[in-house]
Amino acid sequence: MVNAISILGCTGSIGRQTVAAAEHIGLRVAALTAQRQIGLLEEQTRRLKPAFVAVFDEEAAKQFKIAVADLDVRVGSGLQGLIEAATYAESDCVVTAVSGAIGLKPTLAAIDERKRIALANKETLVCAGELVMARAKEKGAEIIPVDSEHSAIFQCLMGRKPGELHKILLTGSGGPFRGKARAELEDVTPEQAVAHPNWNMGAKISVDSATMMNKGLEFVEAMHLFGVTPDDITVVIHPQSVIHSMVELVDGTVIAQLGVPDMGLPIQLALSYPERKPSPFEHLDFYKLRDLTFEAPDYEKTPCLKLAMDCARTGGTAACVMSAANEVAVHKFLRRELGYNRIYDAAAGAVAAVGVVQHPDLDTILAADQAGRIYVNEKF
Ligand code: MG
């Protein structure tokens, strides 16, 4: 049972929805962190009255400290501040909603303190899945996924016995450019890529959904989280995003999790688990649901998905290099410095150029992340 939480990355899309879920189910928010968006952070701090707040950016941390000088709150900064928030004694759950490899050390520190990890940071498992899952098992820390697909799989597996799972059916909408050939996407603008048909998300993950790199990252995550091989996961395109993923059991039975496409639902469950509580979200109306359709992914049209699945098979640091390179490329695309199709070229180029290390430790993982970033910054 969770009584108090720390939110790492409280001003982003997932962070803001976590604040809303915590307020809805009446959880204490003991610690918050943000990168540098101190206006919103001050608002949240005044309302939630956390005991500790960390601002990653040192300069912004100084300004924030002055802004909340009248409050009874301690202010930290940098990676040390993030780690302090993640291990804050009063919190029994840490929501990791920061983006990038910066979430790794704080997550491992929280695992060492046996806190529940409500995992919303993809890089944690994409880059360090082996290490993080082994550490969580060793320490007895729970990892509850926040990503809608992984939350769905987690829910479908509730009460299942080991050996009953045959296959994970990872669903994805196909994004705004489903069915479009690479040649048709040459001139895609950031505005077009960010406009997702079903989900309202941050800019980076919206671009990843358009390229389907997001599904690829989720593929790698699912492999680690549920302890399966790449052959045990099938990607199914389901444009309506009503089914959030499924599991197929050994007897052929398929169990699916359905709901409105709102991240608030998996966030609330990660906080309230093992209990379920009423939510403020719309419920599904099966009289209004028309067609639920399914198709196989077209890997030629979605090379990023294929690349990620190949990296999952390669193992070691391959997915970490790919993810870091992709992140830099997506930000360049959002700044209009790189064409849409070049995002794949950058990620694939980095994977080909940077050597793979199997069973990496944390320093090797962080070095692989850096190598992926340097490659794209130098070559693109
Ligand atoms: Mg997802």
How does pLDDT run across 141-191, given as a tens digit for each residue?
999 999 999 999 999 999 999 899 999 999 999 989 999 999 999 999 999
**Token pair belonging to 378:** 């130098």
Task: For residues 146 and 61, give the distance between their C-alpha atoms in angstroms, rounded to a whole number.
Answer: 28
pLDDT exceeds 80 at position 131: yes
* 90 alpha carbon – ligand 1 mean position (Å): 30
- State the pLDDT at residue 202: 80
More confident residue, 232 or 204: 232
> 128, 347, 119: which is closest to 216 by C-alpha?
347
* 172 alpha carbon – ligand 1 mean position (Å): 8
Give 154's contacts (C-beta < 8 A, 6+ positions apart): 144, 145, 225
How does pLDDT run across 223-242, given as a tens digit for each residue?
999 999 999 999 999 999 99
Query: Is the CB of residue 241 less than 8 Å from the CB of residue 173?
Result: yes
* 217 alpha carbon – ligand 1 mean position (Å): 9
pLDDT exceeds 80 at position 201: no
pLDDT exceeds 90 at position 100: no
How does pLDDT run across 4-38, given as a tens digit for each residue?
999 999 999 999 999 999 999 999 999 999 998 99
CA dihedral 27, 30, 34, 36 (to 10 degrees): 120
Task: For residues 196 and 180, give the distance between their C-alpha atoms in angstroms, rounded to a whole number.
Answer: 15
* 218 alpha carbon – ligand 1 mean position (Å): 7
* 147 alpha carbon – ligand 1 mean position (Å): 5
> 318, 324, 323, 317: which is closest to 360 by C-alpha?
317
Task: For residues 56 and 321, give the distance between their C-alpha atoms in angstroms, rounded to a whole number.
Answer: 24
How does pLDDT run across 261-279, given as a tens digit for each residue?
899 999 999 999 999 999 9
Give 367's contacts (C-beta < 8 A, 6+ positions apart): none
Q: Which pLDDT band, with edges at 50, 70 and 90, does 1 fall under?
A: confident
SS3 163: coil
- State the pLDDT at residue 167: 97
pLDDT exceeds 80 at position 197: no
* 173 alpha carbon – ligand 1 mean position (Å): 10
- State the pLDDT at residue 230: 98
Cα Rg, the chain, nearest whole Å: 20
* 149 alpha carbon – ligand 1 mean position (Å): 5
Task: For residues 110 and 86, give the distance between their C-alpha atoms in angstroms, rounded to a whole number.
Answer: 5
Task: For residues 301 and 298, give the distance between their C-alpha atoms in angstroms, rounded to a whole number.
Answer: 6
Query: Is the CB of residue 161 less than 8 Å from the CB of residue 251?
Result: no
pLDDT exceeds 90 at position 303: yes
**295 DSSP assignment:** B
Helix boundaries (H) for the chain: 13-25, 38-48, 58-67, 78-86, 104-112, 122-139, 148-156, 190-194, 203-211, 213-225, 264-272, 303-314, 318-334, 342-353, 362-379
Q: Other C-beta atoms within 10 Å of 73: how many?
A: 19
CA distances (Å), origin 90, targets 29, 51, 142: 9, 9, 17
* 283 alpha carbon – ligand 1 mean position (Å): 19
Find the mean pLDDT for residues 214-223.
Answer: 97
pLDDT exceeds 90 at position 329: yes
CA distances (Å), origin 369, targets 86, 145, 323: 22, 22, 8
Backbone CA torsion sign across 215, 217, 220, 224: negative
- State the pLDDT at residue 203: 87
* 378 alpha carbon – ligand 1 mean position (Å): 30
How does pLDDT run across 36-87, given as a tens digit for each residue?
899 999 999 999 999 999 999 999 999 999 999 999 999 999 999 999 999 9
